[in-house]
Structure 1
Amino acid sequence: METEHPSPRYTRIDAWEPREILDAMIEGQFAAVAAVRAARPAIEAAALAVVQRLARGGRIVYVGAGTSGRLAVQDGAELTPTFSWPPERLLLLMAGGDDALLKAVEGAEDEAGKGAELMRRHEIGENDVVIAVAASGTTPFTLACLREAGRRGALTIGVANNRDAPLLTEAEHALFLDSGSEAIAGSTRMKAGTAQRVALLMLSSLVMILLGRVYEGLMVDVQASNKKLARRSERILARLTGRATEEIDDALRRAKGSVKLAYLLLEGHGLGEAQAALDAARGHLRRAVEALAGGPAAIPAKPSDSGRAG
């Protein structure tokens, strides 16, 4: 496996000057991003498939072990505060459970039976999306999750850094990240980890944009769970409408914190009319705006293509 293979280039890295070591590791990060760029067509295809499942009410399920699992959990955990993704439609499954997020749990990644059992316990089904991440592409726990999810009809996405690994060959959508060997052989928290982090970020962000949770480049589905995010909601509306703080605060109060609904209120629409437009557009603000203006989005899109107009 390339991720485990020592590179002759780094054989004497411990004898190099500190600046040389840092330069080499920085170059590795650029290589990791280049690996994600090469996987762009696969990421795009996977995102479009994800949108179709989620439009039917499915869940996003992240699974992994060790570093890969922590990166997967990190990506998933950010979906609710950033995009208001419903917590009940998100599962973050880590080999070894929550304890493994902070420390290594010996043998957890080898528990294939546990992985399959989790898929059954959570009743993973055909509307769900399972994103399985493993640098090696062979981790028993992660592979078992993917296999059982596939048997149960879920959309499966495999993310791995070794070509033709089982996680890739058995997934419906394979994201191969060709990051190569590490400066510290086998330390996949380095290049491989960066490539995984970027790929997951690209995939989830594209999905959320396609689902209409971004408007004019702004996080209009932001969940104002603290003062900083409440101020962000105000700034978003100020940027979109140019209205005064008092008007914005009143609209947010009437909209119970919903930036999308507050925006439509500030644009002069009644509360009932605005809510109905958002409901008909399945939460897509741009479609709701066009529908209220009598434009092309007046007729809601079918579920199968509901994510294609951000």
Structure 2
Amino acid sequence: MLKITEQESNYRHLEKMSVEEITKNINKEDQSVALAIEHALPAINDLINTIVDKISTGGRLFYVGAGSGGRLSVLDTIELPTTFGVSNDLFNVILAGGKEHLIEAPEEKEDDINSAWEMLVQHKVNVKDIVIGISASGTTPFVLSALKECRKNNISAGCIVSNPNSTIAEQSDYIVELITGPEFISGSTRMKCGTAQKMIFDMISTSTMIKLGRVQDNKMVNVKLINDKIIDRAVKMLMGNTGITDYAKAKELLLKEGSVKKAEDSWKNNNKSTE
């Protein structure tokens, strides 16, 4: 396979560039990321539709990753319970070295060919679920070994990779190849590859939550009421959705019901009964 991610940068002698030149060239390279994603949209859409089907029938999503891609998937998944009011175990991450060592970046763990599947088994992964491998190179042993076991056990598997025709793609049912080209610093896949991965995670989680009914119009109607800023936003959301004009009354109803969606449903039901 051709490892585009390991090819030499299109730029030389970076140390001789001014800050203005460095940022201009990084920005130029970053602009190619959205175009690479656009090219991959059909594959991304197939993957998202499968995730929605799996979760709608009682399944879960598991990301399996190491390095920057794995850590970025953790950052995405930890936002979902608050933003969309879903359970913590709907989107999961199997991270090389364990999520508890997230900030330590134990890169040597990406060569571990046993622990990924062991962690999936601990989570009781089954045929209802879908497992997505994340690997810029498309060859990470930690990820590859997990997908091989998924195939043996008839568990649906997808991948997000940045090289074509990779060994990880060979073990995947749903293949997303984000070919972003050589990095600004040769081989530093935390840059364009990482940016592309973050954008894909946003697409997957946001699209899935919308299709699961966790968003109404363009509003986070199931957001968890965890601080004053969110409560204030939710009160105003409820007022806009229902026509309630009294802020204090809307806030009281919101806090009683626990979410904008539940408060709105309660308000509608009560108004129907008084008509």
What TM-score bracket applies, with the shorter chain setting the length? over 0.9
What are the within-5 Å matches in structure 2 for residues 58-207 of structure 1?
58-207=59-208
What are the within-5 Å matches in structure 2 for residues 292-303 of structure 1?
none
User: What is the percent sequence identity of the aligned residues?
Assistant: 33
**Alignment-derived partner of residue 245 in structure 1:** 247
- What amino acid is the match of 2:53? Q
Deviation at 1:106, TM superposition (A): 4.8
Deviation at 1:136, TM superposition (A): 0.5
SS of alignment partner, residue 220 of structure 1? coil
Deviation at 1:147, TM superposition (A): 2.2
Distance 1:154 1:239, change over 3 A: farther
Distance 2:266 2:121 in 1: 44
Distance 1:253 1:72, change over 3 A: closer
What is the TM-score normalised by the length of structure 2? 0.92
Please say if residues 124 and 149 of structure 1, whose CA atoms lie closer than 8 Å, have aligned partners that are also in contact: no
- What amino acid is the match of 1:149? C
Please say if residues 222 and 259 of structure 2, whose CA atoms lie closer than 8 Å, have aligned partners that are also in contact: yes
Distance 2:228 2:128 in 1: 35
SS of alignment partner, residue 64 of structure 2? strand
Distance 1:252 1:218 in 2: 15
- What amino acid is the match of 1:5? Q
Distance 1:175 1:77 in 2: 23
Distance 2:228 2:222 in 1: 16
Please say if residues 62 and 76 of structure 1, whose CA atoms lie closer than 8 Å, have aligned partners that are also in contact: no
Deviation at 1:47, TM superposition (A): 0.9
Please say if residues 116 and 144 of structure 1, whose CA atoms lie closer than 8 Å, have aligned partners that are also in contact: yes
Distance 1:50 1:144 in 2: 21
SS of alignment partner, residue 133 of structure 1? strand
SS of alignment partner, residue 39 of structure 1? helix
SS of alignment partner, residue 194 of structure 1? helix
Distance 1:18 1:78 in 2: 34
Q: Deviations over 1:62-94 (max 9, x none)?
A: 221011110111111111111112113332211
Distance 2:101 2:28 in 1: 30
**Alignment-derived partner of residue 4 in structure 2:** 2
What is the TM-score normalised by the length of structure 1? 0.82
**Structure 2 stretches of 5 or more lacking a match?**
none
Please say if residues 60 and 129 of structure 2, whose CA atoms lie closer than 8 Å, have aligned partners that are also in contact: yes
Deviation at 1:36, TM superposition (A): 1.2
- What amino acid is the match of 1:215? Q
Deviation at 1:99, TM superposition (A): 4.5
Deviation at 1:258, TM superposition (A): 2.1
Distance 1:79 1:153 in 2: 27
What are the within-5 Å matches in structure 2 for residues 209-288 of structure 1?
209-243=210-244, 244-255=246-257, 257-267=258-268, 269-270=269-270
Distance 2:81 2:96 in 1: 22
Please say if residues 118 and 145 of structure 1, whose CA atoms lie closer than 8 Å, have aligned partners that are also in contact: no
Distance 2:156 2:247 in 1: 44
SS of alignment partner, residue 63 of structure 2? strand
SS of alignment partner, residue 93 of structure 1? strand
Distance 1:174 1:270 in 2: 49
Q: Deviations over 1:80-136 (max 9, x none)?
A: 111112113332211011354112225200001111222222221111121221101
**Alignment-derived partner of residue 279 in structure 1:** none
Distance 1:40 1:90 in 2: 21
**Structure 1 stretches of 5 or more lacking a match?**
275-310
Distance 1:193 1:204 in 2: 17
Please say if residues 63 and 131 of structure 2, whose CA atoms lie closer than 8 Å, have aligned partners that are also in contact: yes
Deviation at 1:217, TM superposition (A): 0.3
Distance 1:182 1:108, change over 3 A: same
Distance 1:240 1:147 in 2: 48
Distance 1:216 1:107 in 2: 45
SS of alignment partner, residue 86 of structure 1? coil
SS of alignment partner, residue 250 of structure 1? helix
